Amino acid sequence: MAPQWSLLGDDILNIITERFDDIYDYARFGAVCKPWLSFSHRFYNQKKHLFRANHQLPLLVVPIEDHQQIRGLYNISTDTLCNQIQLTLPYKRCSGSSYGWLIFVDNKSAEIELLLINPFPSESEKSLIKLPPIICEDTVSKMDEYGVNKAVLSKDPNEFPNDFEVIAIYGGMQMLAHYKSGDQFWSYAKPTTEIHCFADVIFYKGMAYAVNFYSWIVRVYRKRFKQNPTGNSSPCFLRYKTICKRLPLSVCNYSGNAYLVETCKGELLHVRRDYITEESQMAMDEENEEEMKRVRAEYDARTQEEQDQIRQRIERESENQNVEDDEIRASQVEEMLFDEPHLSVNFTVFKLNYPSSRGQKSTETLNGEILFIGDNHSVSVPSSRCPNLSPNSIYYTDDYVDVYRLNLQFGSCDTGLFNIENKGFGKHFVPRFSAKGMPPPIFVVPRYRIKQC
């Protein structure tokens, strides 16, 4: 006689589901039979706050060899590739992952167009949203799939089609652009705004915040122009309210990357990622300072006539420099830059005091939570939901952007985990060397959507 699973009462089902660790257990549970699916729906509505997209264990979207348009899903908790699920995606870097959507750049000339792709759509949901072009005057650098360093959503566009926002970090100066559903154009900061070089953005408690590489944290909001600008442009511009002041410009204060993460308890964290050691940073600062002192002393010691002669000599030498020398020098620079990959050497975590007070304080624990960072919308998950992973750790993917093709030739190698309590490093997903040049992995949190029976 076959077991009558569908006849189990809610009290038994509740005991079963209380033992589940993450949202994927509920999805598998609901697939057993229609009564279990109905129970899963009721349970989800009762405890929906537990299943917010940014507090669930993410999967890794990884490239698959010899299949340029196909990506796989890798579960770092079980160390397995989900062979039954394959995603058809553009063969390029993904500029963001937020609320289950993947964000890609589809740039044309001086315009950068963003595509929002939902790789897990139901029959009634949108799988593709094309946003208006971002107007970028930077025509030299960052005009390929790195035209947008990162983009995040405020909400799921399928659940809130008329009430979602997008903030993108774009261009060589890494500025911010804001889009609200229904708008025809993006909103930008005024050209006179001095804050730039942004690293990450987050929507937190109904407001948007951004951090740059010098720990400058601002609240971002839109404001209307007094007079609507002429032409095809937004009637609004971006304003910034400083939450944490920028650190002094020095190598020691510059982070290789930075992230803003909301914890499961609703706190806001600032994570700094370093690619060179503190000792190296201090040595470089000292060298730069000594060099500046030497240059100032030499310049002050020269008369105006000597300065003119030196300037003329430099110009003549520059004009007479032949192409062969240029090629040799360029080759030497390229060899220096691409000699070895940039690997993370340290992570520092700060807890923000805002809005009770401004500023931030370093912390040596995540209170048992686990962070997942990279090009994705930063995720925090309680370790109780992923017992196979290391608590108080940061799981990260390779998102190096300064010389952005640097790590790709090594197979997107800067992927691993860092425990902030014992300062130890480890690995989770290690791409094969044959994956060099392929799009880097990115975390994604599939949305849990079920229909009531």
In a domain, 298, yes or no: no
| CA 177/CA 208 separation, integer angstroms | 12
CATH of the domain at 235: 2.120.10
Residue 103 sits in which domain range?
Answer: 55-278+341-444
What is the pLDDT at residue 305?
A: 64
Residues 39 and 123 reside in one and the same domain: no
What is the pLDDT at residue 167?
A: 98
Alpha helix ranges (H) inside 261-322: 278-301, 304-320
In a domain, 183, yes or no: yes
Q: Which contiguous run of DSSP H or E holds residue 328?
A: helix 323-337
Residues 244 and 371 reside in one and the same domain: yes
Residues 115 and 160 reside in one and the same domain: yes
Report residue 426 as tokens. 């480890």
| CA 138/CA 149 separation, integer angstroms | 14
Residues 368 and 348 reside in one and the same domain: yes
In a domain, 318, yes or no: no
What is the pLDDT at residue 110?
A: 64
Report residue 350 as tokens. 């700060």
Question: Under a CB-based contact definition with an 8 Å cutoff, are residues 102 and 120 in contact?
Answer: no
Q: Report strand pairing: 346-352 vs 360-363.
A: antiparallel
Q: Where are the beta strands (DSSP E) in 205-359?
A: 207-212, 217-224, 236-244, 257-262, 268-274, 346-352
Residues 196 and 47 reside in one and the same domain: no
Residues 250 and 347 reside in one and the same domain: yes
Q: Which contiguous run of DSSP H or E holds residue 150?
A: strand 148-153
Question: Under a CB-based contact definition with an 8 Å cutoff, are residues 133 and 105 in contact?
Answer: no
Report residue 281 as tokens. 């940073």
In a domain, 334, yes or no: no
Partner residues linked to 34 by β-bridges = none
Extract long-range pairs of 163-167: CB within 8 Å, 24+ residues apart: 165/203, 165/208, 166/114, 166/116, 166/131, 167/201, 167/203, 167/208, 167/210, 167/220
Residues 167 and 30 reside in one and the same domain: no
What is the pLDDT at residue 160?
A: 92
Q: Which whole-number Å values give the CA distances from 401 to 93, 172, 249, 341, in the listed order?
A: 11, 10, 19, 12
What is the pLDDT at residue 178?
A: 97
| CA 118/CA 128 separation, integer angstroms | 6
Residues 43 and 99 reside in one and the same domain: no
In a domain, 83, yes or no: yes
Q: What angle do CA 448, 451, 453 make, to 5 degrees?
A: 140
- End-to-end alpha-carbon separation of the chain, Å? 26
Partner residues linked to 81 by β-bridges = 74
Residues 210 and 80 reside in one and the same domain: yes
Residue 64: which of 405, 432, 442, 446 has the closest Cα? 432
Residues 17 and 75 reside in one and the same domain: no
401-437 core/surface letters (b: 16 or more CB in 10 A; e: else):
beebebbbebbbbbbbbbbbeeeeeeebbebeeebee
Q: Number of folded domains in the chain?
A: 2
In a domain, 437, yes or no: yes
Residues 36 and 88 reside in one and the same domain: no
| CA 371/CA 428 separation, integer angstroms | 13
Q: pLDDT tens, position by position, for the chain (453 residues)?
A: 456 777 777 888 777 776 665 555 666 676 677 777 777 666 655 554 445 556 788 999 988 877 777 888 899 988 888 777 788 898 888 999 999 999 999 866 567 899 999 988 776 778 899 999 998 876 555 557 888 999 999 999 988 999 999 999 998 889 999 999 999 999 999 877 778 889 999 999 999 999 999 899 999 999 988 877 766 678 899 999 999 988 877 767 788 899 999 998 899 999 999 887 666 656 665 666 666 666 566 656 666 666 666 666 656 655 554 434 444 443 443 344 445 667 888 999 999 987 666 778 889 999 999 999 999 999 999 988 888 999 999 999 988 766 555 555 555 778 899 999 999 999 998 776 555 677 889 999 887 554 433
| CA 211/CA 257 separation, integer angstroms | 10
Residues 17 and 156 reside in one and the same domain: no
In a domain, 126, yes or no: yes
In a domain, 103, yes or no: yes
